[in-house]
Amino acid sequence: MKKYLLACTVLFSLCYLLPATAQKASNIKYQSLGNKIIITFDLSGATKNVRIWIQPGLVSGDNPSNYEVIKSVSGDVGLIQSIDGPKVITWDLFKDITVLPPGFNIDIKVKTESRVPTSEVISLAGNSLAPLGLKYQRLGLQGFYVSGKILNFDFSKVKGTSNELENGKITPESPYQFLEAQRQSFCFNAGYSRMIKPSLFVYGGLGAGIDRTVWKVVNLDADCNPTTNIYWVEYAEGSTPGKLNWLLEAGTNVKFNRIVLDAGIGLNAGKDVYFNFGLGYVFRSKN
């Protein structure tokens, strides 16, 4: 029985490892063309018509561990459909380095879809309802994000609603006067993201939020002068104020090296449209 289990374990391990090790880049060649280097290679052994990750790198000296990913590349690079045959990559080298190291070499790593590099991003993000917030994203072939946004940190204690004030349910000393209004919004969102290209991602998610207007009210004395009796009420227009609403949103992320731009659109309670925006920084990458 133990031998049977051992054999099954070995077989399973081989089945798992073979797809990752069978595909490779061979016959790697490169030549300069102006300020660029043209890299050609053959892709062989990969399962046909599956997505794989092509990652070129610069190797300094004879030690293959001195591998530095080159980023300013175009062509058959990043996430591509695996088809045997020749491939071409163009490297704009002076955008990555100032001079080539002595004894350099160019190598190309071929990874399975499950090993696509990921980036962790923290962003200053907001939307047209709550413009101040933070967003954490994990960008890869598949990823996720969570975000929280707010407008107005001064959440005053609300004693009632404007409807109750007008209908006499709140009975302040009469007369009274509305002084000013504060809009208070906050929301939380989370969702899923997916890579379209190595620098382009789309996302979609759900969330919840509150958007309300709060009025500052003061009582007046017999001569209609303001007193010290000031309080707050929520402004309502025939509906329940301060209601927790559901949010639905979608958008895109564009990655420029370590900078990530965020733009999207959302729907608040199925009726009000809002816009997302953000500027992020890649604080951790895994190649």
For the stretch 208-260, pLDDT in tens is: 998 888 888 888 888 888 888 888 888 776 555 567 889 999 999 999 989 99
Indicate the SS3 state at residue 204. strand
- The lowest-confidence range among 19-23, 46-50, 162-166, 239-243 is 19-23
Rounded mean pLDDT, 271-276: 89
Look at the block and give the residue holding tokens 């879809």.
113
Q: For the stretch 17-49, what's the b/e string if a residue is b when 16 or more beta carbons lie within 10 angstroms of its beta carbon? A: eebeeebebeebebeeeeebbebebebebbeee
Task: State the CB neighbour count (10 A cutoff) for residue 201.
Answer: 26
Model-level pTM? 0.63
Give the residue, 168 or 22, on which the prediction is more confident: 168
pLDDT band at 7 (very low <50, low <70, confident <90, very high): very low
Strand order, beta sheet including 73-75: 24-33, 36-44, 85-91, 73-75
H or E element in which residue 4 lies: helix 2-22
C-alpha 83/C-alpha 81 separation (Å) is 6
Question: Using alpha carbons only, how large is the chain's radius of gyration in Å?
Answer: 29
| Max avg pLDDT among 57-61, 127-131, 164-168 | 127-131
Residue range 6-20: mean pLDDT, rounded: 41
Q: Report residue 54 CA to chain centroid gap.
A: 23
Report the C-alpha gap between 97 and 41 in whole angstroms: 22
Provide mean pLDDT across the span 49-75. Answer: 82
Which tokens is 264 given? 């999207």
Query: What is the reported pLDDT for 80?
Result: 83
What are 162-203's pLDDT values in tens digits?
888 878 787 777 788 888 888 888 999 999 999 887 789 999
Residue 17: band (very low, low, confident or very high) from pLDDT cuts 50, 70, 90: very low
- Is-cis flag, bond preceding 64, omega within 30? no
Task: Collapse the DSSP code of 259 into the 3-class scheme (helix H, G, I; strand E, B; otherwise coil) and give the result.
Answer: strand
The token duo for 32 is: 């300069």
